[in-house]
Amino acid sequence: MNILITGGAGFIASHIADANIRRRNKVFILDNLSSGDKGNINPRAKFYKKDIYKDNLEKIFRDNKIDVINHHAAQIDLRKSQTEPIFDARINIEGSLNLLKLAVKYKVRKVVFASSGGAVYGEQEYFPADEKHKTEPLSPYGISKLTVEKYLEFFRSYYGIKYVCLRYSNVFGPRQSMKGEAGVVSVFYKKILAGKNPVINGDGNQTRDYVFVDDVVKANLLAQSYRGSGIFNICTGRETSVNQLFRLINKNLNNRAEEVHGSGIYGEQVRSVLSNKLAGKKLLWKPETGIKAGIIKTGDWFKKYF
């Protein structure tokens, strides 16, 4: 299978590229390196340094028969989306539409899209949230993710392109930068390894659903070969508070940091946890790495590189 992976120099999609190459799929990576790292790019992939919004991407599709687009390139900074919503919409909505137009023209079979469960549901009414939970995003980033999901459904019904939207909870693991939705894991590791005390926002009782990147990669491989279209939460269904996370990371670094709390962030979601039942039933996916094992594996990487 020939697969175009956008954002393949970044955290999640570079792991997806590696796994596809191990499966002997032919991988093309499209990334403008705005937050990604050239060092993450698998040397066996063909790399196009291009912007999904600004550049003409036609040549990639003309020169290579693309079967599947795995779309992870995005403006991922939730706070930046609040202050620069037009920039966010250009990359996350218009950039995605650029790809979808070419997908139609060059008869791409399927699009896998990295959506965000943390961002599209908004303040949860029940826990864990399944895919039927109402979607009321609280940020332009969440609005843009939900908008692309809706465009994908339009492109399916109008042009027959299949799609799978994976609504991730908070993904963590090796190669993660400090910016993304589960950036807190890398913030804590980098600060503590630098001999500093990371500051926990507010009382630290706010919870998130942390899913390990290897499990997310497996969900992507299953989504690529899934016969139908659909939207699935990719998550663990388990809540971990920021305090628990700090303590796990600090323990893995021999408790060398102090627990320090700062002021809370206005409007920050208190609880976020998603249900993975549908992904289990339809994609036959389930997470295999628990939070403790994932934190240790992530720590091994940070200890080596920082």
Ligand X SMILES: NC(=O)c1ccc[n+]([C@@H]2O[C@H](COP(=O)([O-])OP(=O)(O)OC[C@H]3O[C@@H](n4cnc5c(N)ncnc54)[C@H](O)[C@@H]3O)[C@@H](O)[C@H]2O)c1
| Active centre residues (catalytic) | 141
Stretches 4-12, 131-139, 244-252, 275-283: which one binds ligand X (CB under 6 A)?
Answer: 4-12
Decide whether 76 or 129 has the Cβ nearer to ligand X: 76
What are the backbone angles phi and psi of residue 54, rounded to the nearest 5°?
Answer: -85, -35
CB of 255 to ligand X, least distance (A): 26
Q: Is 181 near ligand X (CB under 6 A)?
A: yes
Decide whether 142 or 204 has the Cβ nearer to ligand X: 142
DSSP state of 129: B
| 182 in Cβ contact with 209 (< 8 Å) | no
Host H or E run for residue 207:
strand 207-208
Figure out which of the listed residues 64, 82, 124, 177 binds ligand X, where binding follows CB under 6 A.
Answer: 177
Residues numbered 63 to 102 that lie near ligand X (CB under 6 A) are 72-76, 91, 95
| 11 in Cβ contact with 177 (< 8 Å) | yes
Q: How many residues bind ligand X (CB under 6 A)?
A: 31
For residue 128, say if its preceding peptide bond is cis, omega within 30 degrees of 0.
Answer: yes
Identify the residue whose tokens are 């094992």: 293
Report d(CA 300, CA 23) in Å as an integer. Answer: 25
C-alpha dihedral (170, 173, 179, 182), degrees to nearest 10: 20
CB of 256 to ligand X, least distance (A): 26
Report d(CA 66, CA 139) in Å as an integer. Answer: 33
Stretches 18-26, 80-88, 146-154, 164-172: which one binds ligand X (CB under 6 A)?
Answer: 164-172
Decide whether 55 or 259 has the Cβ nearer to ligand X: 55
Q: Is 168 near ligand X (CB under 6 A)?
A: yes
CB of 138 to ligand X, least distance (A): 14
DSSP state of 85: H
Decide whether 86 or 158 has the Cβ nearer to ligand X: 86
Contact set with ligand X (CB under 6 A): 7, 9-13, 31-36, 51-53, 72-76, 91, 95, 114, 116, 168, 170-171, 177, 180-182
